Amino acid sequence: MVAQNPIENLYSVLVVDDDPAVRLMIRSYLELEGFRTLEASNGDEALAEAFANAPQAIVLDIMMPGLDGYAVCKKLRENPKTNRSVIIFVSVLDKVNSKVQGLQTGADDFITKPFDPSELLARLQAHLRRMAIQQEKEKMLERLAEKLAFMNKRLQEEAATDSLTGLYNRRYLWKRFGEEHQRAKRFNHPLSFILIDLDRFKTINDRYGHPAGDKALKEVGKLLKNHLRGIDLAARYGGEEFALFLPETSLQNASFVAERLRLACHALKIAPIPQGKLTFSAGVATFPIHGVTPQELYEKADQALYAAKAQGRNCVVTASFLSPNGDTSR
């Protein structure tokens, strides 16, 4: 007796033949080699067993009562539970056209009766090895595809993200800003844009060092993330400047958000910067009140930010408080 292969214990084989003696002979031999076996005496039983148990291999007679082996093989190949099972015809038919028909129907191999069980075993093992190799290749390709998808996602995120603060960068902001602007126009919803600039940030860097300045930028980035909704977007626009757009947000609500953020920034504790020393000025503009294009909204928010700086910093100014020439009338 050949030593059992532990891998073969994973495989089940359905033996289909209308002759009980043939079924017993094949089953006995395969079970001695470590295979689990099932049996059926006709085509209908074969389909029922195969669809219920999805065996890895099927040894199939051709000439049987009712459905013949060709019809059974075709139905097995059409069913997703069995379309990848190894199918070996074992038949008294020995004409070339019978073998050709069997292979064209979907069988993997064809053995003529009478046969030596060792030949059946050798062919069965060869087909199962190929099937295992193919399955492993497919799993490897799936893992590779998942890894590539993950890496592509990471690359896209990195390309759209500011490395210091973890916020989106200017390029991604404008991409999303354009998309949200089109949506706001389509559904006639407001869209607010906020520009934020940290006050006297150069002084902070000069007095407390650039590591402290970087830490301040990171903390402001966290603050913006934690205080905004999921549909809002915050980006580091450049240097110590940040930009936000708030879909479906009125000017009044956007001003409230900006003021809430200003107070939260003022309350930040960032050693070695004394509490209250980190403040920002903000300008707010809203579609369609202050502009009908993203560029117009940006320009109005920028003018409002400049006005906030001119008023003494650490405050929020909306574009509604600007005179036609861009000066604040507040």
Per-residue pLDDT 10s for the chain (330 aa) are 444 444 445 799 999 999 999 999 999 999 999 999 999 999 999 999 999 999 999 999 999 989 999 999 999 999 999 999 999 999 999 899 999 999 999 999 999 999 999 999 999 999 999 998 998 999 999 999 998 888 887 777 677 899 899 999 999 999 999 999 999 999 999 999 999 999 999 999 999 999 999 999 999 999 999 999 999 999 999 999 999 999 999 999 999 999 999 999 999 999 999 998 999 999 999 999 999 999 999 999 999 999 999 999 999 999 988 755 544 433
Q: Do 126 and 262 have their domain in common?
A: no
Q: Give the pLDDT confidence score for residue 322 in this predicted structure.
A: 74
Q: Give the pLDDT confidence score for residue 149 in this predicted structure.
A: 86
Reference 196, options 30, 323, 317, 62; nearest CA is: 317
**What single letter denotes the amino acid at residue 111?**
I
State the catalytic residue, choosing from 31, 240, 248, 259: 240
Q: Is residue 315 part of a domain?
A: yes
Q: Give the pLDDT confidence score for residue 153 in this predicted structure.
A: 79
- For helices 294-310 and 170-187, what crossing angle results, to 10°? 110
Whether 92 and 63 have beta carbons less than 8 Å apart is answered as: yes
Q: Give the pLDDT confidence score for residue 323 in this predicted structure.
A: 54
Q: Do 177 and 314 have their domain in common?
A: yes
Whether 314 and 278 have beta carbons less than 8 Å apart is answered as: no
CATH of the domain at 70: 3.40.50.2300
Q: Do 207 and 273 have their domain in common?
A: yes
Q: Is residue 311 part of a domain?
A: yes
Q: Give the pLDDT confidence score for residue 324 in this predicted structure.
A: 54
214-242 residues labelled b (16+ CB within 10 A) or e (exposed): ebbbebbbebbeeeeeeebbbbbbeebbb
Q: Do 86 and 203 have their domain in common?
A: no
CATH of the domain at 187: 3.30.70.270
Give yes or no for a cis peptide into 288 (omega within 30° of 0). Answer: yes
Q: Is residue 102 part of a domain?
A: yes
Reference 104, options 81, 127, 64, 74; nearest CA is: 74
How far is 217 from 210, CA to CA, in rounded Å? 10
Q: Is residue 246 part of a domain?
A: yes
How far is 189 from 186, CA to CA, in rounded Å? 8
Q: Do 11 and 130 have their domain in common?
A: yes
Q: Do 27 and 83 have their domain in common?
A: yes
Q: Is residue 1 part of a domain?
A: no
Q: Is residue 142 part of a domain?
A: no
94, 117, 137: which is the final residue of a domain? 137
Q: Do 94 and 36 have their domain in common?
A: yes
Domain with 103, as residue range(s), is 6-137
Give yes or no for a cis peptide into 274 (omega within 30° of 0). Answer: no
Q: Do 98 and 218 have their domain in common?
A: no
How far is 135 from 156, CA to CA, in rounded Å? 31
116, 137, 158: which is the final residue of a domain? 137
Q: Give the pLDDT confidence score for residue 150 in this predicted structure.
A: 87
The neighbour count for residue 325, using CB atoms within 10 Å, is: 6
Q: Give the pLDDT confidence score for residue 152 in this predicted structure.
A: 86
Quote the number of domains for the chain. 2
Q: Is residue 189 part of a domain?
A: yes
Q: Do 208 and 305 have their domain in common?
A: yes
How far is 267 from 227, CA to CA, in rounded Å? 14
Q: Do 122 and 237 have their domain in common?
A: no
Reference 58, options 24, 87, 26, 22; nearest CA is: 87
For residue 206, is it left (φ>0), alpha (ψ between -120 and 50) or beta? alpha
Residue reference for tokens 């085509």: 43
240 is an active site residue: yes
Q: Give the pLDDT confidence score for residue 6 in this predicted structure.
A: 44
Q: Do 71 and 181 have their domain in common?
A: no
119, 137, 155: which is the final residue of a domain? 137
Q: Give the pLDDT confidence score for residue 329 in this predicted structure.
A: 38
Beta-bridge mates of residue 196: 242, 282
For strand 280-287 and strand 191-198, is the pairing parallel, antiparallel, or unpaired?
Answer: antiparallel
Show Cβ contacts of residue 130 under 8 Å, excluding neighbours closer than 6 positions.
none
Q: Do 202 and 272 have their domain in common?
A: yes
Q: Is residue 31 part of a domain?
A: yes
